Structure 1
């Protein structure tokens, strides 16, 4: 996690260089990490790039990624706690930040480090509190490594010089006790009357530490998610196939109907062309005129014939009338008289 600005502390100390003390602390922290071979133990395993000298320094002139800084800080802190001899599970990216910070502070308290700030300060990195958790854990890890090196060196010397055992006898247990923190001071205190030593600040710290653990983090099962995703994709493909088949059938039917309509349209066009050509031609008009002329001639001939027939009928009637008149006259003539003059 990024380190905080030490300007306030520098003002209290009164030194002008105290403002830049945080940069010196960061460089010292990086040197200790290199001594512990953090490049192979952390960076190589997590596929991370090397830290700059002022990676965890809070400065407006440095471009930072708070999420990446916090995750790298938790990974380094977990690794240092394990190197110091206490088992600590490496945090994951989906873990609760408050719970991770509380677990780290609990391990620091187990080392005997006094923690007088809440976990939120360590997570935000806006105060001076984040400066020393990793540094303190590094010192514990370095001390543990020095103790192991000293013990191995003593054992090698004892093997190489068996004749001088009486002169160079060393109490390994005493060396371990000397290099590791012990509880002798606590046991040497006289017994006192038990009294309540609960402090409100410590109680608040404990509440902040326990509160994130009460949250339930539901982790998604990637396999079930992929199965559901595959099932959804399969259903979607089936629906797409059905719609494609329906659309294909509709297209075939529409294509057939279009062919029929096109054929009928061609027939209509052909008929219209024939009628148009016939209408544009003058032969029918000439035929009609000839027919009318012929019809007029026939009408004239018919009129002549009708006149002849009427004249013939009139003559016949006149002749019949004259004959009737003659007959009537013939019947009405007087008989000749018989007398002296006959």
Structure 2
């Protein structure tokens, strides 16, 4: 099974193992669109799920109950009645009901139900994602156009700094400094007059070579002093397309320079990896060639071992049968021995004679008692006979008494 699953993943591509994470993230976004937090989590007092909840195993029992609860809620929202599962319901029956509803919606259930019983995995994410799609179709959900927030232009704040000066401020400072220290400054009015004269006399040919009368050292010192204040910074507008083009060119140059270095490293790494793979393959072939006879011996030993195991199983079954027969014979022998011992003990034992003597003595005592009783009865009978006889005689004499007057009897 594991080998078949590995072959199936190879056919789907190297990213098949990570498809479940993408599917779980899409499922979570769709559940948020359906407001599952208010309708499911708060009603059942559950905590919110993460974007990897049904993708990785954390607590299979809790994950399976959460899956059944969300699936029942989605089926009910899609227009089909589904009874809310309880915690102690039969999981197989619940899974079969969910798969039946999935097929009724037109979903494909070409996987074993045991995949859903685990409570996590690609099949669980697929079932929930399909049901969310059906709910979105049933409710008529549509995406609306995005509403962009209006951007308010910030008022430009001019920061006055020693390094950022406007042209008017720059001229005012120069004029103030000229009034303070005239010895070390250049007269701007003179320079303007000279420039005007030069502009006027441009058409006329100069009679002599123009030569500056300004001291070069003083000019150099003035330039050194004013140079920090001549720095003017221009505020860039982020919405200007020229700025974006410049940034694109800068990024392109950076990418090209980084690509050259990275390409060299990658080529070197590729060559090293290819050499290492060649070495590994050659070593593998060498090891296979060296171990081929040992592998053959191992296979023959495995075959012999399997045969011996079969023989051992057969012999073990025979031994168990023989042991059972031996136990039965032993039981019969014990019964026979017990019977023989009982008979022998009854033959050699004098207990029956003692019992017979005791019975005879008891009979003699009973006979004596019977004789006494018989004698008593005979004596009583004799007395009764004698008494009866005496009574008869008395009666006879009473009837024969003579009459004194007549002399008759």
TM-score, normalising length: structure 1: 0.38
Of the two structures, which has the highest relative contact order with CA contacts closer than 8 Å and spacing of 6 or more? 1
